[in-house]
């Protein structure tokens, strides 16, 4: 019976906890952030929306990159990108710059989230994979639930930028631990289809932007985003039809259990 590689499990779970805690902190602190940068409540919600758009748009392309170039490499890159985004957010004095920082954080979080399950499969023995995935779900739940309490604790002693600045050393420390402990995973060497990746990102990103903008953006822009997203999805499905390793594996829905 194999043993769990805890030196590898720890950085994976730390990375998952950081990206999960971040979105919980930000969502809880929106009123304080809006007041700090002088933005209205209606526009401040895009601090959260732009994050989710970037995560959803980048998730599947980054998962494909993890299969091709190695999940370890994408995971570590995601932590560095996340730290850069957190630094940008903490230094923000305007809504556009803060939204840009949240977009960068979103891409970093997508890289971590896209590769974490694959790394868990690599670091746990096969007979303990269920326990590993359960632990992963537990970390996500605890980190998300801890967000409001952690936000209150930080805002009680510091201004809202510290919600992001504390994430910088946390991400860099996780990067250092992961650099030493994470093993290389099996790679599926194949060309990376950039056009399909762009279509995939456009499909999910535009559809999510359209849905998020229903109550806040004029209807012509909402309809345009939804239509373009659907068209991009149709072109993607046609392009990847019959491929052995598509970015969007719709054939999974043919499996009843899935």
Per-residue pLDDT at 14? 93
Please list, in sequence order, all residues whose beta carbon lies within 8 angstroms of the beta carbon of residue 209, skipping any fewer than 6 positions away.
Answer: 49, 53, 225, 229
pLDDT digits 0-9 by tens, 47-74: 888 999 999 999 999 999 999 999 999 9
pLDDT digits 0-9 by tens, 138-153: 999 999 999 899 999 9
Residue with tokens 């860099």: 172
Token duo for residue 34: 């809006």
* Cα angle 95, 96, 100; round to 5: 115
- Measured distance CA(253)–CA(251) in Å, rounded: 5
Residues of the chain with pLDDT under 70: 1-4, 215-217, 258
What pTM does this model have? 0.89
Per-residue pLDDT at 2? 56
Determine which helix (DSSP H) or strand (DSSP E) holds 47, and give its type and residue range.
helix 46-69
Per-residue pLDDT at 217? 67
DSSP symbols for 129-172: HHHHHHHHHHHHHHHHHHHHHHHHHHHHHS-TTHHHHTHHHHHH
* Cα angle 67, 206, 41; round to 5: 115
């Amino acid at each position: 019976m194999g043993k769990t590689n805890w030196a590898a499990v720890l950085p994976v779970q730390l990375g998952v906890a950081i990206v999960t805690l971040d979105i919980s902190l930000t969502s809880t602190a929106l009123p304080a952030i809006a007041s700090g940068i002088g933005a209205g409540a209606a526009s401040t919600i895009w601090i959260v929306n732009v994050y989710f758009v970037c995560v959803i748009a980048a998730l599947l392309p980054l998962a494909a990159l993890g299969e091709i170039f190695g999940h370890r490499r994408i995971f570590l890159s995601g932590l560095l990108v996340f730290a850069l985004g957190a630094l940008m957010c903490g230094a923000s004095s305007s809504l556009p710059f803060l939204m840009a920082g949240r977009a960068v954080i979103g891409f970093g979080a997508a890289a971590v989230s896209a590769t974490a399950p694959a790394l868990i499969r690599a670091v746990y023995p096969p007979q303990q994979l269920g326990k590993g995935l359960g632990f992963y779900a537990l970390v996500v739940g605890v980190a998300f639930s801890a967000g409001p309490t952690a936000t209150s604790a930080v805002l009680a002693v510091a201004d809202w930028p510290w919600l992001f600045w504390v994430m910088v050393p946390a991400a860099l420390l996780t990067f250092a631990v992961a650099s030493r402990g994470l093993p290389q995973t099996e790679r599926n060497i194949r060309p990376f289809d950039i056009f399909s990746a762009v279509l995939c990102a456009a499909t999910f990103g535009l559809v999510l932007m359209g849905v998020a903008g229903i109550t806040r953006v004029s209807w012509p822009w909402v309809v345009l985003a939804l239509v373009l997203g659907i068209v991009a999805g149709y072109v993607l499905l046609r392009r990847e039809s019959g491929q052995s390793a598509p970015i969007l594996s719709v054939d999974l829905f043919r499996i009843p259990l899935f």
